Structure 1
Amino acid sequence: MADNPEAQPWIRRYHPIPDVPVNLVCLPYAGGSASYFFPVSRALAPRVGVLAVQYPGRQDRRREPSMSSIAELADAVTANLLPHTDVPLAIFGHSMGATLGFEVALRLESAGVAPLALFASGRRAPSCHRDERYHLLGDDEFVAEIKSLSGTNAHLLDDEELLATALPALRGDYRAAETYRYEPGPPLHCPIHALVGESDPKATVAEARAWAGHTTADFTLHTYPGGHFYLDEHAPRVLDVISRTLTARPRDLSNTAK
């Protein structure tokens, strides 16, 4: 039985797996929700469990104020993940979720929990700063920017009622992503696997390759035809990369930092 959202507001398990060998923490993009990863959870079971993160300010958490900084989100997500670290975990984040995943991984390592891997999708490396201020635009210009990325739910923004409900969380997420500033420090010790669309306006292949400088472990770069939401079209290929990476790991690999 899937988790009760009231009992687990931050972490959703849509397909709980008894004695799960490894969990994949899934962090949504700006404006995204945990339910985006329902198909991912179904596809990876039972080899890999999925812990999908639900940010405040959307869907069943729409009455809660959204968080306006990556640091605030990372602190909250990490605190809610710590009870789940009895099982080895990896992190997947798309767009804003990749930046958030990096900060969560840093916090987990500081707490003595070593993620197996970080899958950073559709996002430039933290050290590659762009001065973007879309969150300051008026509503029409802001919505036009979101639609230009061609996400699967972009058409929902044509519904005025849905737009009014979604806009505060969208703007809050954009504010968090755009005001984030990387603070140089020790790199991660887990492998980083960067994934990017070849024509992504939000992350060039070179900017994705720069993730290599944020880990002392292995790094791989996977490119796909398409733009910012390349993964909607290439989900089977992306899931294959994740599944092969996590199921091929050494069986004696611990999730406890040495």
Structure 2
Amino acid sequence: MSSDRWIRRYHPTESAPVRLVCFPHAGGSASYWHPLSTALRPEVDVLAVQYPGRQDRFTETPLAGITELAAQVVAALGRPDGRPLALLGHSMGAVIAYETARRLERAGSGPAHLFVSGRRAPDRGRPETVHLLGEEELVAHTAALGGTDPSLLADPEIRALALPALRADYAALAGYRPDPPRPLGCPVTALVGDADPVTSEDDARAWEQYSGGEFELDVFSGGHFYLNGRHDEIAAVVSRHLKALV
């Protein structure tokens, strides 16, 4: 498997002392992280994950499971290159980042830091039924979270391209069965919006039991997509932790 299918590097920086792998939300794509890559260059080499079924991979069938996605990302990352590696995921991406961290640890190359954004800790299970919604209800749910311009999903052609991957991602979340909580071998930083309708501050704070080092909770004003347009602020938080690694 070619890593070119799974990993996008918008500002390749081989001289950067640390790498950061970014995982998009449900229905999201690698390009969501382009602004953060811009904000972090050249100090951080940012790698953005591109899931199948979207953008330049739209002809591929979306994967059905969170753990399968994580396993594919681990394979795409390949061997360590000697630089510390950190992981950052938003919403569904936070869960995939966590499962990726677990697999990297089992392979003997665990991450140096895990950032989880806009997602409750894995043991805070709740029924996931979004994938069962009808088309209009699914579009309305997506618009309510604020991650997608409503005018885009009003276009029938864009809907036809975007909704299958979105529904598949929510189905993957519905089928996710995490193992009992066990600390990773690295610090964990959780980020959340103070008005997030799907992830409370308490839900985000529950990630503390997954941290193998220091834990920090950063709360921002805003909803589920609090980070839209605020990548400089997110970059400042990430940079503060990554600088400590080198």
Q: TM-score band, normalised by the shorter chain?
A: over 0.9
Shift in Å at residue 17 of structure 1?
Answer: 1.1
**Structure 2 residue aligned with 1:155:** 151
Amino acid at match of 2:179: E
- Cα pair distance change 1:77/1:47, threshold 3 Å: same
Shift in Å at residue 88 of structure 1?
Answer: 1.5
Q: Which runs of 5+ in 2 are unaligned?
A: none
- Cα pair distance change 1:71/1:154, threshold 3 Å: farther
Deviations 1:92-117 (A, max 9, x none): 00000001100000000010012111
Amino acid at match of 2:95: T
Q: Is the 2:92–2:119 contact (alpha carbons within 8 Å) kept by the matching residues of 1?
A: yes
Q: Equivalent of 2:194, from 195, 198, 211? A: 198
Q: For the residues of structure 2 that align with 1:203 and 1:176, how far apart are their CA atoms?
A: 18
**Structure 2 residue aligned with 1:19:** 15
- Cα pair distance change 1:26/1:75, threshold 3 Å: same
Q: Equivalent of 1:141, from 137, 144, 156? A: 137
**Structure 1 residue aligned with 2:57:** 61
Q: Equivalent of 1:246, from 218, 242, 245? A: 242
**Structure 2 residue aligned with 1:114:** 110
Deviations 1:153-184 (A, max 9, x none): 44311111100111110101111122212211
Q: Is the 1:85–1:113 contact (alpha carbons within 8 Å) kept by the matching residues of 2?
A: no
Does structure 1 residue 98 correspond to structure 2 residue 94? yes
Q: How many residues align?
A: 245
Q: For the residues of structure 2 that align with 1:154 and 1:39, how far apart are their CA atoms?
A: 21
Q: Is the 1:194–1:221 contact (alpha carbons within 8 Å) kept by the matching residues of 2?
A: yes
Q: Equivalent of 2:126, from 112, 123, 130? A: 130
Moved more, 74-83 or 147-156: 147-156
Give me the TM-score of the superposition, normalised by structure 2. 0.95
Amino acid at match of 2:236: D
Does structure 1 residue 31 correspond to structure 2 residue 30? no
Q: For the residues of structure 1 that align with 2:151 and 2:193, how far apart are their CA atoms?
A: 21
Q: For the residues of structure 1 that align with 2:218 and 2:128, how far apart are their CA atoms?
A: 25
Deviations 1:34-88 (A, max 9, x none): 1111111111111011010000000110000001110110110111112354321
CA-based RMSD: 1.4
Q: Is the 2:35–2:231 contact (alpha carbons within 8 Å) kept by the matching residues of 1?
A: no
Deviations 1:185-228 (A, max 9, x none): 53201100000001111110000000001122110000011110
Q: Mapping of 1:213-232 within 5 angstroms?
A: 213-232=209-228
Q: For the residues of structure 2 that align with 1:33 and 1:233, how far apart are their CA atoms?
A: 16
Shift in Å at residue 152 of structure 1?
Answer: 4.2
Q: 2:115 is paired with a residue of what secondary structure? A: strand
- Cα pair distance change 1:52/1:24, threshold 3 Å: same
- Cα pair distance change 1:89/1:7, threshold 3 Å: closer
Q: Could you list the runs of 4 or more consecutive aligned residues of structure 1 that deviate by over 2 angstroms after TM superposition?
A: 82-87, 152-155
Q: For the residues of structure 2 that align with 1:84 and 1:171, how far apart are their CA atoms?
A: 33
Does structure 1 residue 52 correspond to structure 2 residue 48? yes
Q: For the residues of structure 2 that align with 1:100 and 1:75, how far apart are their CA atoms?
A: 9
Moved more, 180-189 or 60-69: 180-189
Amino acid at match of 1:213: Q
Q: For the residues of structure 2 that align with 1:185 and 1:233, how far apart are their CA atoms?
A: 33
Identity %: 52
Q: For the residues of structure 1 that align with 2:87 and 2:114, how far apart are their CA atoms?
A: 5
Amino acid at match of 2:202: A
